[in-house]
Amino acid sequence: MKYSLGLAIAFLLGLLSSGAQAQGTVRRHLIYFQDKTGTPYTISQPQAFLSARALARRSRQGIAVRPRDLPVNPAYVAQVRAVSGSPQVRYTSRWLNAAVVACDSATLGRIYQLPSVKGGQTLSRLPEAPYAAPAPASAPAARTTAEDRATYGKAYAQNELIGAAAMHKAGYQGEGMQIAVFDAGFPGADQLEALQLLKQQGRIAGTRNFVDGGTSVYQRNSHGTNCLGLIGGELPGTYVGTAPHATFHLCITEDVASEYPVEEANWLAAAEYADSVGVDVISSSLGYNTFDRPAVSHTYADLTGRTAIGSLAALGAARAGMVVVNSAGNDGNNSWRYISVPADADSIITVGAVDSLRRHASFSSYGPTADGRIKPTLSAMGVASAVLSATGTISRGNGTSYACPELAGMVAGFWQANPTLTAQQVISALCRSASQAQAPDNTLGYGIPNFVAAYNLLHPGAPLAATPVAAGGTRLGIYPNPSHTGELTLVLPPSLQRQALRVRVLDVKGATVLERSLPAQATAEVLLHPARQLAPGTYQCVVQPLAGGSTQTVRFTQQ
């Protein structure tokens, strides 16, 4: 088992496997190329290999496109494919200037003779074999009425612990943010009632299967479905995830049938895919330290953040301006004890687990890294988390695997609320406002983050309420929502009446597109116009008393 259990990839870069390989047996190998000389791609024309959204993410953060971002020279790939023996190039890596190739030993020897090839290593000791898809998931089980009372159902505690419930009330549920989920499969995710809005609203933006090839992901192991539900689930009264309105990319990188270094190469390919399509946040509940072939397993000394391919991949994703959120691992109770790969990577959020009472989960892996850095980075609820199954039932589960996506959704909402921040500034704000910010350790890291605390750290002049305000006339309202006429009416709660107000309307990027000053008045309803100047889209209306006091926010749609 690999998700967060600390099973992993420990080979040194460029080291060839010393094990014998049967003649004619097809296995996967990582082939490194000498250079990118002669490539038709240039850093001055990045639109040829990076999407407009990817380039916009980099531009907002001042991240330049560098030679490492250039695709592998297609001429070198063509040379590999032309070698006798019919080698299959499964995918390439821009950041490592390499390709994953399936071939037998004789063909591999001929590939190593190419002048463009620098070296390589064997990633899988098992023969290539077609994957047999499992039978379709059974129909979702009927929901019980016991959990239909509260909006979040069984998922309330995990949302409340990190401030996600308050984040949602403030109007941030992941709108406009893109999250990539790396895992072992997503069976049922296209059928479950709690995930139907993702399908109906076109918020599954992409799928990739790096284990079998192609784009079919609603198969294999249901661990990915569990993790997707923790972020994107939305069935009010029963189950709500931490960023239910985000857009997702689903990637299978993990093969639960075996444990070989190829899975970290899959993770690398998925990270480069996420970069190219403009993903903001990566959620990965995967970890590696021990392989089926002990000779290539990791040692603690490898946890430098720059030794394993998975760690280099996570660092590359961070350098490209994404926030990588990865589970710490569940090895706290066993002889390994420490975090795994890629949780050791620098500049990412490594997530440990606590229970609903904020106590460390004994299974949650410890730091530090081999080079002395504090790990985990932050912690979230991973004991008795409410988890959505592939059949639609909701059960309780333990693991940093679950703490990770819970926090990834909050990260997306926090970045949505603060769109001018860089990825590293997002991580810094969450750490500086977390429960152990003044005394971080290698058990909980900087502690348990909270959306409200982090938001107020950045907005001391316009703080959010410390706890969600109850419904029933005490919250700011707006109608009609969605608006078709171009006129909007604010419904002011008593706390905002009889005082002068500043009203701002923000677009999904956080830019102010409309601002008004309202005089003190006793009426509860105020016409806000001309709203006709707003283009169709989703907006946040922020109302702040000019004399000071709590700010309230409401989300609306202009059609």
- The C-alpha atoms of residue 557 and residue 452 are separated, in whole angstroms, by 24
Evaluate whether residue 502 is within a structural domain: yes
Secondary structure tally for the chain: helices H, strands E = 12, 22
Residue 103: give its domain's CATH number. Answer: 3.30.70.80
Considering the domain boundaries, does residue 16 fall inside one? no
38 beta partners: none
Contact 132, 220 (CB under 8 A): no
Co-location of 39 and 152 in the same domain? no
Band of pLDDT at residue 487, cut at 50, 70 and 90:
low
- Each residue's pLDDT tens digit, 88-114: 999 999 999 999 999 999 999 999 999
- Closest by Cα among 199, 195, 200, 218 to 208: 218
Contact between 162 and 451 under an 8 Å Cβ cutoff? The reply is yes
List all residues 6 or more positions away from 505 whose beta carbon is below 8 Å from its beta carbon: 512, 513, 514, 515, 531, 534, 539, 540, 541, 542
CA dist 345 and 316 (Å) reads 10
In tens, the pLDDT along 41-100 reads 999 999 999 999 999 999 999 999 999 999 999 999 999 999 999 999 999 999 999 999
Contact of 402 with 227, CB cutoff 8 Å: yes
Summarised one tens digit per residue, pLDDT across range 256-298 is 998 988 999 999 999 999 999 999 999 999 999 999 999 889 9
The answer to whether 266 touches 254, Cβ cutoff 8 Å, is yes
Segment 379-408 mean pLDDT: 97
Average pLDDT, the chain: 87
What letters, b where the CB count within 10 A reaches 16 and e where it falls short, cover 502-531?
Answer: ebbbbbeeeeeebeeebeeeeeeebebeeb
What is the enclosing helix (H) or strand (E) of 111?
helix 105-112
Q: Same domain, yes or no, for 490 and 451? A: no
Q: Find where tokens 């909270």 sit.
A: 450
Strand (E) or helix (H) holding 171: none
DSSP state of 384: S
Enzyme catalytic residues: 183, 223, 401
Q: Rounded to whole angstroms, what are the CA distances from 270 to 94, 313, 314, 375?
A: 12, 9, 10, 24
Q: Do 284 and 421 have their domain in common?
A: yes
pLDDT for 465 equals 61
Structural domain that includes position 104 = 27-122
Instruction: Judge whether 12 lies within some domain.
Output: no
pLDDT at residue number 507: 84
Verify that 352 and 223 share a domain, yes or no: yes
Contacts of 541 (CB under 8 A, 6+ apart): 476, 478, 488, 490, 503, 504, 505, 506, 528, 553, 554, 555, 556
Same domain, 406 and 449: yes
Asked if residue 192 is part of any domain, the answer here is yes
Three-state secondary structure readout of 208-234: EECCCCCCCCCCECCHHHHHHHHHHCE
Strands 247-252 and 178-183: parallel
Residues 278 and 182 in one domain: yes
In a domain? residue 129? no
In angstroms, rounded to a whole number, what is the distance separating the alpha carbons of residues 314 and 431?
A: 19
pLDDT per residue as tens digits for the range 130-183: 544 344 333 333 333 333 336 899 999 999 999 999 999 888 999 999 999 999
Provide, for the chain, the percentages of residues in helix, strand and coil under a 3-state DSSP scheme, each rounded to the nearest 5: 25, 20, 55
Pair 420, 405: CB distance under 8 Å: no
Question: Are the C-beta atoms of residues 506 and 513 closer than 8 Å to each other?
Answer: yes
Q: What letter represents residue 282's amino acid?
A: I
Q: How confident is the model at residue 493 (pLDDT cuts 50, 70, 90)?
A: confident
Q: Which residue has the higher pLDDT, 102 or 480?
A: 102
Both 539 and 410 in one domain: the answer is no
Same domain, 33 and 157: no
Cα 558 versus chain centre, distance = 29
| pLDDT tens digits, 336-375 | 999 999 999 999 999 999 999 899 999 999 999 999 999 9
CATH code of the domain in which 507 resides: 2.60.40.3080
> Quick check: is 322 in a domain?
yes
pTM: 0.78
* 429 plus 545 within the same structural domain: no
% of the chain with per-residue pLDDT over 70: 87
149 and 112 assigned to the same domain: no
The pLDDT of 527-549, averaged and rounded, is 78
For residues 158 and 117, state if they share a domain.
Answer: no
Alpha-carbon distance 543 to 556, whole Å?
14
Domain boundary among 122, 155, 179: 122
Given 403, 426, 458, the domain boundary residue is: 458
In the chain, the number of structural domains is 3
273: in domain: yes
Share of the chain above pLDDT 90, in %: 70
Length of the chain: 559
188 close to 390: Cβ distance less than 8 angstroms: yes
Last residue of a domain, one of 407, 431, 458: 458
Q: Are residues 230 and 331 in the same domain?
A: yes
Q: How many CB atoms lie within 10 A of CB 463?
A: 17
Domain presence at residue 468: no
Calculate Rg over the CA atoms of the chain: 24
